[in-house]
């Protein structure tokens, strides 16, 4: 499998994946929706809603991290996925750079390396105007 070619294909794959999950997925809690896809990346959007706010009214760090992780995982799934196997995060490094009290965060993942059993994804989380909120690197093993 490869990165979806179009946003429509990305949405279809996300819906198929979500339909196969037997329990409520964290992506539902975060409100993630497919946002964009290019030849080497894909993005999910996450609106800032009350359940995702920390005490200061901004995105909680866990929400930003979750959006980054799910985006990187779904990208790795597209490249590494085999029947009955799942890309499991075995390492994560996240830097929180800024925050916002309104709007939508967009997590965009690009693969830095993809092998037979391991992938490394770089994920940038920005607000709608492009200000960087977080940068993360994930290493995934195919389990």
Identify the domain containing residue 121 by its residue range: 7-142
The pLDDT-based confidence of 1 (bands split at 50, 70, 90) is: low
Please calculate the CA angle 58-63-64 and round it to the nearest 5 degrees: 80
Q: Which residues contact 89 (CB under 8 A, 6 or more apart)?
A: 69, 72, 73, 138, 139, 140
Q: Does 19 fall in a domain?
A: yes
Instruction: Using a cut of 0.85, tell me whether the model's pTM lies above it.
Output: yes
d(CA 64, CA 61) in angstroms, rounded, equals 5
As given in the structure block, the two tokens for residue 73 are 């995982």
Q: Does 56 fall in a domain?
A: yes
Say which CATH number the domain at 134 has.
3.10.129.10
Query: Based on the structure, what is the number of domains in the chain?
Result: 1
d(CA 75, CA 110) in angstroms, rounded, equals 8
Q: Does 108 fall in a domain?
A: yes
The pLDDT-based confidence of 142 (bands split at 50, 70, 90) is: confident
Q: What one-character DSSP code corresponds to residue 76?
A: H
Q: What is the pLDDT of residues 94-131, one digit of tens each?
A: 999 999 999 999 999 999 998 888 889 999 999 988 99
């Amino acid at each position: 499998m490869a990165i979806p070619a179009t946003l429509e294909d990305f949405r279809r794959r996300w819906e198929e994946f979500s339909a196969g999950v037997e329990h409520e997925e964290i992506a539902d809690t975060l409100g993630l929706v497919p946002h964009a896809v290019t030849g080497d990346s894909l993005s999910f959007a996450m609106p800032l809603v009350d359940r995702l706010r920390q005490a200061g009214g901004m995105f909680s760090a866990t929400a930003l991290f979750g959006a980054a992780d799910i985006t990187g995982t779904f990208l790795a799934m597209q490249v590494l996925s085999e029947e009955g196997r799942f890309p499991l995060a075995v390492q994560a490094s996240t830097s929180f750079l800024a925050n916002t009290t309104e709007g939508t965060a967009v997590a965009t993942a690009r693969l830095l390396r993809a092998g037979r059993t391991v992938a490394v994804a770089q994920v940038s989380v920005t607000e709608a105007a492009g200000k960087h909120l977080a940068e993360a690197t994930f290493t995934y093993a195919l389990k």
